[in-house]
Structure 1
């Protein structure tokens, strides 16, 4: 199969989440920014992908159009993982990570979508003999900051059947409120997004153990400080998670020997090809994979397929928001703390043209 065309479709979809919209992104966050990629082969197969684009949509779209797409048209789709590495090498002058890898991630997801569709099977079945058909999902709450709101949203998620809840809280009072709302039987985690100093981490981590947190995510900056993360995990007996901001398996090989949970994000790490390499790294070091997936385009669908195919992936992350629309209205949303793995060709994603037209920018 040869690549006929690569099209980039930037979109913005508003969402509601019950928070002030501040705290998680550099600016107020109220819309899902998506850089959708459509790749068509000469024999008419269409693959869909997207690269991480929150607060960097224009840069990612430009990187795909100007840096990556010109290297693809007319190329054979045979060894996608090898092509991924070729793109990394040919574009390394533009930076090994960040925007460059977000762009490559979008392309790689679309190519794997095509590969599975060509075989008339799902991506999960292409990668595994007996993939899972249902996955445990956890509610990934927004940052509310106010203890009463944290308590309320944690309780709401548990009432909906979630058995694991992740906060994005950084103050002890808010995390305590999350535990109160979730109850003692619920697995509770918090994503600190690198907001604690190492001194603050030493002050707060004993409380994380007392509150029986399932994991603490990116407690300090930088998020890839393997020695600091490993020290906190060993000293306080609470699992540490990191990796949502890491690109390629090379970065994960640094943290895998030190922490329990690796968190590759398929729209950032280098797409399906690098996600699979991270799973191999985790297996080699005895770590586990907790995929990062706070999106609702092809990255969402690809993450479900990958989690179903690789048993080392523990749970599916579901961002606890309500978008104004879903690009593919048939999106499998969690129910009772489980998400169904749809057995459809490719990653399963087929967007509604009317919704694309409505939110295209």
Structure 2
């Protein structure tokens, strides 16, 4: 059975965030719409699979690569050769870079092909990955950067009142972290993602100031993100567990990070680093290095579902899934994947387990 067609669909959905965004690496100040790119693959028998790439301002480049380069290479290929296809395409196009648009596009294709495989087998992806005993996973509310202690305080309280026991901040100053801890109290687990702003000395100085707030991890404290030796220094000396991996792109990147002893938590991002095929390999690598996988999931389409399936099957009951804490005007899956009391249901249907709402696609699709 071969691949018959690939369609790329860009979506733009308005959202609010409990106050104005201060901006960040993924969006401008006061951002009020979120762009995403989903990929629809149709097999010769009509079976449809859905994938997703990492989005925001990268979408036009990824869509161009998918439409003009990757799709012509994939259409007509055998569905049964998914892993070989992914390997062949990585090798063929490596000269254009081992990250960015090409790998983002391949990630979406891989997720969609897993969706098709599950549907044709009549099994959810978590079953294809070995099965799970959990029917829901804890979610952590991943807040935007507010850069305002009072807004942080307000939105931390809002998330806790909605049942979240785990939170992620994207702040870069101590006052905002202090406000979050004061608002959350001592029993809520807080993580801090600072998006690579500091050199090693600066990161160590900040870690000293942040230690009183009992962070579960400090995420990507060092620039550049591939400075694994620097991350390892912060991990050894900073007194706070270190997390990283959303900017790692290949299995070798993750191997180098783990060999350097750079992280306590490793964070592959399936819509960026090769999809489910590569994600399951990172789990095996991490297990060999006694390191915990916490999948990066700053999206809410098929990429999120892929993370839920992999986390349920390969991470088990202790896995925590990132939930982008946006108040979206519309959800691609309606209420089916929205956390309830801080937990996400693991889909039980075949493949990814849920189908995108065609009305949402119709109403929020944009031309690029």
Q: TM-score, normalised to structure 1's length?
A: 0.96
| Equivalent in the alignment of 1:265 | 269
After TM superposition, give the deviation of residue 349 of structure 1 in Å.
2.9
1:179 partner SS: helix
Distance in 1 of aligned mates of 2:15 and 2:77: 38
Report deviation, 1:79: 3.1
| Pick aligned residue for 2:286 from 258, 282, 285 | 282
CA deviations 1:276-313 (Å, max 9, x no partner) are 11111111111111111111111111111111111267
Name the counterpart of 1:193: 195
CA shift digits 1:153-199 (9 cap, x unpaired):
11221222211111111001111111111111111111001122333
Structure 2 equivalent of residue 341 of structure 1: 346
Aligned-pair CA distance for 1:211: 1.4
Counterpart for residue 9 of structure 1: 9
Q: Check the 8 A contact 1:3/1:39 in 2, yes or no.
A: yes
Hey, what's the Cα distance between the residues in 1 that align with 2:308 and 2:131?
16
2-structure distance, mates of 1:295, 1:331: 15
Equivalent residues of 2:267, 2:296 under 8 A apart:
yes
The 5 Å alignment of 1:86-165 reads 86-165=88-167
1:110-165 deviations in Å (ceiling 9; x for gaps): 00000011100100111123342111111111111111111121122122221111
| Structure 1 Cα separation of the partners of residues 359 and 138 of structure 2 | 32
SS in 1 for 2:77: coil
Deviation of 1:71 after TM superposition, in Å, equals: 0.8
- What is the number of equivalent residue pairs in this alignment? 361
TM-score by length of 2: 0.95
Measured against aligned partners, the alpha-carbon deviations of 1:37-83 in whole angstroms (never above 9, x if no partner) come to 11111111100001112111111101111121011111111132221
In structure 2, which of residues 302, 305, 308 is the aligned counterpart of residue 301 of structure 1? 305
Asked if structure 1 preserves the Cα contact closer than 8 Å seen for 2:143 and 2:167, the reply is yes
Name the counterpart of 2:212. 210
Alignment partner of 1:351 is 2:330: no
Separation (CA, whole Å) in 2 of partners of 1:47 and 1:161: 32
1:324 aligns with 2:329: yes
Structure 1: stretches of 5+ with no match in the other structure: none
2:28 is matched with which residue? 27
Alignment of 1:236-251 (within 5 A): 236-251=238-253
Q: Distance in 1 between matches of 2:286 and 2:153?
A: 34
In 2, the alpha carbon distance for the partners of 1:106 and 1:60 equals 10
Q: Tell me which of 233, 245, 255 is aligned to 1:231.
A: 233
2:185 aligned with 1:183, yes or no?
Answer: yes
Q: Is the 2:200–2:233 Cα contact (8 Å) retained in structure 1?
A: no
Deviates more, 1:101-110 or 1:22-31: 22-31
